[in-house]
Structure formats: C-alpha cells, structure tokens
C-alpha cells in the first residue's frame, strides 16, 4: 500500500499551507482573519467570510457555500470538501479527521468533542482538570488555538475596541471607523474626560502644578479627539468616514491652552512653587511625584 507524505507549514499559530504530493493548498490571512484559500489543482480562489470566532461561515468561488457549525466545531461540509479553513479559523485535515492545534501539538476531534492526547498543562496548571477537554467544555465563550490552555473569546475580541487601539486612528489622513468602533471610542473619550476633569480639580485644590498641567494637556487632547469624531458622518454602510471637505486635525498634539480654567489661572498654577504641602493626602503626593518623574524623563 502506497503512502503519501503530508507537509504542514505554519504562519504563527495557524496552519497556512498543506502540501501533499504534487498538490498544495494555502490559506491567506491578515490580522488573525482568514481571507481566502488557493489550491494548486484549481485556478479558482475561495474567498472566505468569517464570524466572531474566526470560523469560516461562507466561501465563494463562482458559487457560494454556507457552513454551519455545532458548538464543538462539527460542520455541515463533507469531510473531503476542499475548504480547509473552518472552525475558529483553524485548518481542517481530512486525513486526521480534525484540527492540529498549537502548530501540531495536539489533535482536536470535533466529533468526539475532545483532544486525542492529554494536555501537558493539566490537571494542576492552566489546562484545567480534564486533560482531554476542549476549552474547559465551554466552546461558545472560549477559544484554544494552542491546544494547551484556553482563553476567553470576548475578552480577546474586546481588545479591538480599546481606546489605545482606536484613538491613534483619528490621526490618520482619512479616519474610518465601524459603528461599533465609533461608539466604543466615543464612550472611552467621555470616560477619560471625566477622569481628567477630576484630576484637574484635585491638582487645583491641592496646588499640584504637574498634575494640573498634565490634566490640562489630557483634556485638550480628548477635546480634539471628540471634535474629530464629530466630523465623521455615517455612510450608507454604517461606517464613519472622514469628511474630506474639512481640514484634518492632529489629535495628539500637546497644547497648553484650554478654555476651562482660564489661561491666566493655568499659568499661575503651573508657575507655582513645587514644594508639596504636608497636609496633602498621600495618594495625591504619590500621583504628583509620578507626574514629575514622567516630565523629567520626557525632558
């Protein structure tokens, strides 16, 4: 009986190319999302649409193919179907009846809803008590791309909507945000404005010039960002795009001018003596010292 060697090539933690004999199939991905598949035996490229778990739900190559999944990854396609990118964006191996997770570390079988081998991180480490369980028996809310330990799906997804990830995009020449990104960034800016205003009031009350100065700069940046958000009208697809009829503003430029408090008050505070009153609470002193250290490092 003849045997055929199967060669597997990985890109990071995902299988990117499967080579068998004279044929090979490759998965093209970007930002952890699979985009398309190419096969050396056909001239057509399979375009892929994925869901929140990065599972392929639709493929298109001349005709459209929809894919449905059970909670543990059993799908509606025949095992020998040419689409390889399937559950959670991992590559389906017909010859292995499952997914090789963690760069071939462990084989996960959707039919069994279990791994074929024990987890080296179980039962006392991050692998969990059950050494063969997939995602701690919660495949809806968890993902396990490494085959060693699982993580929360929605915590991973929410990283996309963090202020630190979205705010720099307002500095682009043509900012473009989805509705979810726009709403998340707007809420983050509002929360930060409240915190910065509170910090400014503490700095003024306790005579902390560095804290006051930093709060003024932060408020100015946040106000600029909020202004730019207001310049992004929604298009017919629900995305917020930059209005090219208005000039682009840089949001992260530091400015010493702020309408509230007045400039004269700000200058008076910033030029005040740097000695800290011993009656000021410890947490305020600690915050002021950290701010002075930050300023020294920047200088």
Give the Cα-Cα-Cα angle 151, 157, 161 (nearest 5 degrees).
Answer: 140
Q: Contact at 8 Å (CB) between 199 and 215?
A: yes
Chain centroid to Cα 41, Å, comes to 35
Helix (H) or strand (E) holding 99: strand 98-101
Question: What mean pLDDT, rounded, does the chain reach?
Answer: 77
Lowest-confidence pick of 10-24, 202-216, 224-238: 10-24
Residue 284: the pLDDT is 66
Q: What is the DSSP string of 194-209?
A: HHHHHHHHHHHHHT-H
Q: Contact at 8 Å (CB) between 153 and 52?
A: yes
> Which token pair is 99?
């997914």
* pLDDT band with cut points at 50, 70 and 90 for residue 222: very high
What separation in angstroms does the CA of 73 have from each of 120, 221, 286, 294?
23, 46, 51, 49
Residue 265: the pLDDT is 47
Strand partners, 32: none
Q: Where are the domains of the chain?
A: 7-152, 163-298
Spatial CA neighbour of 288 closest among 200, 211, 205, 202 = 211
Residue 52: the pLDDT is 80
Q: What is the DSSP string of 229-283?
A: HHT--B-TTS-EE--TTS----SS---S--SSS-HHHHHHHHTS--PPPTTS-HH
Residue 205: pLDDT over 80: yes
Statement: the pTM of the whole predicted model exceeds 0.75: no
What are the tens digits of pLDDT across the range 279-293?
A: 566 666 667 667 666
The packing angle between helices 263-270 and 209-230, to 10°, is: 140
Spatial CA neighbour of 36 closest among 18, 21, 58 = 58
| Helix, strand, coil abundance in the chain, percent, nearest 5 | 35, 25, 40
């Amino acid at each position: 009986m003849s045997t055929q060697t199967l060669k597997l090539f990985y890109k990071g933690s995902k299988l990117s190319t499967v080579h068998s004999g004279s044929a090979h199939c490759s998965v093209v991905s970007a930002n952890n999302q699979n985009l398309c598949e190419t096969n050396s035996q056909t001239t057509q490229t399979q375009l892929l649409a994925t869901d929140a778990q990065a599972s392929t739900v639709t493929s298109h190559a001349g005709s459209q193919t929809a894919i449905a999944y059970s909670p543990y990854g059993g799908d509606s396609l025949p095992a020998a179907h040419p689409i390889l990118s399937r559950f959670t964006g991992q590559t389906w191996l017909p010859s292995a009846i499952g997914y090789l997770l963690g760069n071939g570390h462990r084989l996960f079988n959707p039919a069994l809803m279990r791994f074929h081998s024990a987890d080296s991180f179980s039962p006392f480490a991050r692998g969990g008590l059950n050494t063969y369980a997939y995602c701690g028996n919660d495949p809806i809310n968890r993902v396990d791309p490494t085959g060693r330990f699982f993580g929360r799906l929605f915590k991973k997804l929410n990283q996309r909507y963090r202020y630190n990830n979205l705010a720099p995009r307002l500095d682009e020449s043509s900012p473009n945000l989805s509705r979810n990104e726009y709403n998340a960034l707007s809420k983050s800016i509002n929360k930060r404005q409240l915190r910065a205003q509170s910090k400014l009031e503490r700095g003024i009350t306790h005579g902390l010039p560095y804290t006051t100065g930093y709060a003024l700069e932060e408020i100015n940046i946040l106000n600029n960002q909020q202004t730019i958000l207001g310049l992004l009208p929604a298009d017919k697809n629900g995305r917020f795009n930059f209005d090219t009829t208005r000039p682009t503003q840089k949001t992260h430029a530091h400015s010493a001018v702020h309408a509230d408090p007045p400039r004269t008050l700000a200058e008076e505070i910033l030029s005040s003596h740097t000695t800290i009153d011993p009656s000021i609470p410890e947490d305020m002193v600690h915050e002021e010292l950290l701010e002075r250290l930050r300023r020294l490092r920047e200088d």
